[in-house]
Amino acid sequence: MQLPSSLVQLANERIEPFDCEGFLPGAGPADATIMFVGEAPGETEIHNGIPFSGRAGVIFDSYLDDLNIKREDIYVTSAVRSRPYKWGQTRAGVRRKYNRTPNQKEILAHAPVLDYEINRVQPQWIVPMGKIAYWRLLGTSPRLGDVTGRIQTHPIRQWEEANEAYIWTARNYNIFPIYHPAAILYNRSLEQTMKEYLNTLAAHALHI
Ligand code: URA
């Protein structure tokens, strides 16, 4: 889906004060039924221009395989569309940028982008992957295991410029929080639980 250039310009201006680089729009058809929302692109994604194309992307693709759907069938985006980075050093002492979790100001800077994507796509199902997406959409940070794999029918938060506040959408969405694919990379014991969650999502969202 093509984003209006004025929206991209606004997002770039707002993210400028922070240690973030690049801009990668979400991907997928504008009439997708399911929207997956991640955290922020990493180095690989900014380099090759495809959401979830690095190590976490391999896990993300396995989610889609389990659901028996393809990238063309879904919309995939994230709370922040630039890569938040921090400086560090390799073991050999070379200074380099490392991926990091976006903070609330960075999430706010790109809130209009995610709001636009959701408003255009109007997905039946929104799948926040991980804590950042959950907080962005629902405004709370529960222990993730308490909310993953369960359907919530609820409005989501969108940024209202006039009041400089997040407000709730008028409509309800079916929200199905799951673990961020990177969480599976670091904790393989979540794999089986994730498969059960995906079965639940398939049964309700895809009727299979
Ligand atoms: N993590 C995300 O949230 N999005 C990506 O595109 C890659 C990693």
Tell how far the Cα of 182 is from the centroid of ligand 1, in angstroms. Answer: 8
Query: From CA 126, how far away is CA 137, in angstroms rounded?
Result: 9
Give me the helix-helix angle, 111-121 and 5-15, nearest 10°.
150
| Structural domains in the chain plus CATH codes | 5-206 (3.40.470.10)
Residue-averaged pLDDT of the chain: 97
* Pocket probe mutation, ligand 1, options 24, 39, 99, 185, max atoms within 8 Å of Cβ: 39
Radius of gyration of the chain (CA): 17
**pLDDT tier at 1 (50, 70, 90 boundaries)?**
confident
Ligand 1 atom at shortest distance from the alpha carbon of 44: 7
Mean pLDDT calculated for residue range 73-92? 97
Question: Which string of DSSP letters, residue by residue, matches 64-120?
Answer: HHHHT--GGGSEEEES-SSEEEEEEE-TT--EEEEE----HHHHHHTHHHHHHHHHH
Mean pLDDT calculated for residue range 20-34? 97
Helices (H), the chain: 5-15, 43-48, 55-67, 104-109, 111-121, 131-138, 144-147, 181-186, 191-201
pLDDT value at 208 more than 70: no
pLDDT value at 207 more than 80: no
pLDDT value at 29 more than 70: yes
Tell how far the Cα of 37 is from the centroid of ligand 1, in angstroms. Answer: 9
Mean pLDDT calculated for residue range 57-85? 98
Tell how far the Cα of 38 is from the centroid of ligand 1, in angstroms. Answer: 6
What residues does ligand 1 touch, defined as CB less than 6 Å away? 38-42, 45, 51-52, 56, 78
Token representation of residue 17 = 């004060």
Give the per-residue pLDDT at 14: 98
Mean pLDDT calculated for residue range 31-55? 97
Ligand 1 atom at shortest distance from the alpha carbon of 129: 3
pLDDT value at 104 more than 90: yes
Output the pTM of the full model.
0.97
Taking only the tens place, the pLDDT of each residue in 129-176 is: 999 999 999 999 999 999 999 999 999 999 999 999 999 999 999 999
Q: Whose CA is nearest to atom 8 of ligand 1?
A: 41
